A = this chain, B = another copy of it.
């Protein structure tokens, strides 16, 4: 049975890394003494080691040990045998490229579908959707494909931002960008604000946190979903 936490962000303004999620993660990973960390997204270009250290420090607060996938000789085997898995944020193009390059995109999808508890934040959440095509990230590297894990039957836009009515900037708003996606794709997109997450238990998908989320469907007016909304039938 799938057991997944898909969070918009790792860190809230004024908070520390993962702190707002720790009570949730303590329950989510209650059967894990060790988890596997996938640091491939490398925020700001940080090294795999330094990024893993940061994750380990947060998980130490709930008595869980963390080891980076780059420390294993066989990354596919590391995924298959993990007690739990966490993919951190950073650049989604880089993350997806590395997952393909190391030949673990499919095994990661299968392993999580088979029940290994998974946590994603930001880029690590983006890849839970059908494709990475609604990421906010810069295409700093050319991935072999935009297809991702498909753990949920729609796409995500993490760090969702409402348009700023006072802005004089003429670049596209997030809503305009998602509208452009829907000019060519029919996959629904959930704009997940910072502080929101999805809880996936088996086939049940529930919106968590204190905020509403914004749902975009092709040829429909966007809708605000209340927290605790059931998204299981969205596809």
A27 at the interface (CB under 8 A from B): no
The answer to whether B142 touches A138, judged by C-beta atoms less than 8 angstroms apart, is no
Question: What's the minimum C-beta distance from A181 to chain B, rounded to whole angstroms?
Answer: 4
Contacts of A132 in B (CB 8 A): 139
Contacts of A145 in B (CB 8 A): 142
The answer to whether A183 touches B136, judged by C-beta atoms less than 8 angstroms apart, is no
Closest to A168 in B: B13
**Given known contacts A159-B169, A161-B171, A168-B13, is B134 in contact with A185 (CB within 8 Å)?**
no
A212 at the interface (CB under 8 A from B): no
For the complex formed by this chain, how many copies does it contain in all?
Answer: 2
8 Å CB contact of A183 from B42, B139, B182:
B42
8 Å CB contact of A170 from B9, B42, B140, B185:
B9
8 Å CB contact of A140 from B142, B161, B180:
B180
A142 to B177, CA, bound (A): 15
Contacts of A170 in B (CB 8 A): 9, 11-13, 159, 194
Total chain A interface residues with beta-carbon distance under 8 A: 44
Most buried by B among A90, A132, A146, A183: A183
A183 to B170, CA, bound (A): 28
Contacts of A177 in B (CB 8 A): 137-138, 140
8 Å CB contact of A184 from B135, B137, B141, B161:
B141
A11 to B172, CA, bound (A): 12
Kindly list the 3 A-B residue pairs having the minimum CB-CB distance in the complex, ordered from nearest: A45-B183, A159-B171, A13-B168
